Amino acid sequence: MKPVSERRLFLTAVASTVTSVAATLGALAAPATAAPADLIARDHLDLVVRDHLQVTYSENDGSAARTTYELDCGPAGGSHPAPEKACERLDGLAAEGADPFTPVARDAMCTQVYGGAQTAHVTGTWQGRTVDATFERTDGCQISRWNTLVPVLPSTDA
């Protein structure tokens, strides 16, 4: 059995609570002839939080053929080669309060180590907000940022 992330447990608890409150409020405002099941169906709230990302990856600075795949989390799916692992990684980063899509600060001191010609562009939604981030491996900071998102991004380890 897979461990359930704290985020998913929290969202499940919130959804259950909101549904119960909505049903109770609906019962207070409904005519006395309404059945409880009717109230729940009428006041049902869809609280599913779903992350959706599109990842476009290239081996050669974007000049070579590109590979694009979709990643859905909540539940894990899409054309991503390892959606469960990628979603678990994103859940772990969210639990840490990390934002892997934030660019490296302009004034960051980065080692001048070239990590390869790979590039990636990630768009979509994560944690309820829009993502539009570009990744490369041109220095130590960029390599670290890339590696933080493996397996969402492909591993470049030989």
- Please tell me the pTM assigned to this model: 0.68
The pair of three-digit structure tokens given for residue 47, joined into one six-digit string = 């609280």
- What is the tally of helices (H) and strands (E) in the chain? 4, 4
Sign of CA dihedral 125, 126, 129, 132: negative
What pLDDT digit, counting tens, does each position of 90-106 carry?
999 999 999 999 999 99
d(CA 102, CA 80): 22
Beta bridge partners of 104: none
Matching residue, tokens 């081996």: 59
Determine, yes or no, domain membership for 154.
no
Same domain, 70 and 124: yes
pLDDT band per the 50, 70, 90 thresholds, residue 2: very low
User: How far, in Å, CA of 16 to CA of 39, rounded?
Assistant: 15
Tokens representing residue 139 in the block: 């220095």
Q: How far is CA 58 from the centre of its chain?
A: 21
* Beta strand pairing call for 129-136 and 119-126: antiparallel
The answer to whether residue 153 sits within a structural domain is no
Does residue 155 form part of some domain? Answer: no
Let me know whether 25 and 56 are in one domain: no
Q: How many domains does the chain have?
A: 2
> Does residue 109 have a pLDDT over 80?
yes
- The one-letter amino acid code at 134 reads T
Same domain, 85 and 114: yes
Residue whose structure tokens are 């001191």: 109
Residues 61 and 129 in one domain: yes
Residue 136 lies in a domain: yes
Q: Which domain, by its residues, includes 18?
A: 6-42
- Looking at the structure, tell me whether residues 73 and 134 fall in a common domain: yes
Does residue 90 sit in the same domain as residue 130? yes
133-150, pLDDT tens digit by residue? 999 999 999 999 999 999
